[in-house]
């Protein structure tokens, strides 16, 4: 497990945290890695807290348990911060990435004294600027790649562009906006 990066996603049902975890698995897979992307299911309903996970490794992955001591935690919905201990088990040499318009200092008050690095990404405003709609998934995915260093920026952007070209073959006009959102999120992390 030494060469394995473990990531835990917190979101609410319907917001796409599971989709983001699967997208991350997808893009890491394309760069030759062994991957796992899986959700933890409770009662299935919109708005309920959900957890999703990634393992990404150079070696074959056999473990089939949830992740309790992740390297990184991604919080797609900051309203979860008061009800869920999102940094539970998170390694101090790791990091938590929160989708919020608030400052890092404001967010840290809700993180139970977590001593590792805290990143904030205003995924909503990035998405509104780039796409005109609130799709926080793409910016959070890019921020996660930037923070974790699972792959380089260029490699990531080129893989994402080819999958957007495939996914949006019938509406190519949204590809540029999505790529823009990824780049803006990457820049946000670089400025931290």
Partner 1 sequence: MAIRERLSGNEAVAYAIKQINPDVMPAFPITPSTEIPQYVANYIANGEIDTEFIHVESEHSAMSATVGASAAGARAVTATSSCGMALMWEELYVAASNRLPIVLALVNRALSGPININADHSDSMGARDSGWIQIYAESNQEVYDNYIQAFPIAENKKVHLPVMVCQDGFITSHGVENIMLIEDDKVKAFVGEYEPEHYLLNADERIAVGPYAVSNYYMETKRGQREAMLNAREVILEVAEKFEKMTGRKYGFFEEYRMEDAEYAVVIIGSAAGTCKAAIEHIRSTTGKKVGLIKIRVFRPFPEEEIARALANVKAVAIMDRSEMFAGTSGPLGAEVRAAMYQAHAKAEVVNYFYGLGGRDITVSDFERVYENLEKMAETHTVIGMYDYIGLRE
Site of interaction with partner 1 (CB under 8 A): 1, 22, 25-26, 29, 34-39, 41, 44, 60-66, 68
Please give the structure tokens belonging to residue 102.
């608030």
Q: Measured from the CB atom, is 43 or 113 closer to partner 1? A: 43
Strands (E), 21-65: 34-40, 49-57
Residue 174 has φ and ψ, to the nearest 5°, of -90, -10
Q: Measured from the CB atom, is 28 or 75 closer to partner 1? A: 28
| Contact criterion met (CB below 8 Å) for 39 and 6 | no
Q: Measured from the CB atom, is 38 or 168 closer to partner 1? A: 38
The CB-of-21 to partner 1 minimum distance in angstroms stands at 9
Return the number of other C-beta atoms located less than 10 Å from residue 43's C-beta. 6
Please give the structure tokens belonging to residue 126.
């990035």
The CB-of-13 to partner 1 minimum distance in angstroms stands at 14
| Contact criterion met (CB below 8 Å) for 23 and 17 | no
Q: Which helix (H) or strand (E) holds 179?
A: helix 175-191
Q: Measured from the CB atom, is 1 or 85 closer to partner 1? A: 1
């Amino acid at each position: 497990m030494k060469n394995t990066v473990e990531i835990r996603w917190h979101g609410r049902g319907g917001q796409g945290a599971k989709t983001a975890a699967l997208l991350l698995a997808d893009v890491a897979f394309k760069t030759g890695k062994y991957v796992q992307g899986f959700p933890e299911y409770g009662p299935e309903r919109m708005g309920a807290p959900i957890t999703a996970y990634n393992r990404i490794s150079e070696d074959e992955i056999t473990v089939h348990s949830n992740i309790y001591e992740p390297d990184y935690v991604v919080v797609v919905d900051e309203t979860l911060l008061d009800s869920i201990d999102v940094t539970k088990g998170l390694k101090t040499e790791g990091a938590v990435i929160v989708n919020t318009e608030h400052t890092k200092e404001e967010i840290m008050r809700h993180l139970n004294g977590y001593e590792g690095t805290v990143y904030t990404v205003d995924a909503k405003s990035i998405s509104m600027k780039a796409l005109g709609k609130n799709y926080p998934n793409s910016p959070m995915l890019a921020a996660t790649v930037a923070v974790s260093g699972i792959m380089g920026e260029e490699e990531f952007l080129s893989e994402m562009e080819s999958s957007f070209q495939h996914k949006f073959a019938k509406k190519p006009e949204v590809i540029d906006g999505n790529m823009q959102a990824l780049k803006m999120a990457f820049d946000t992390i670089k400025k931290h």
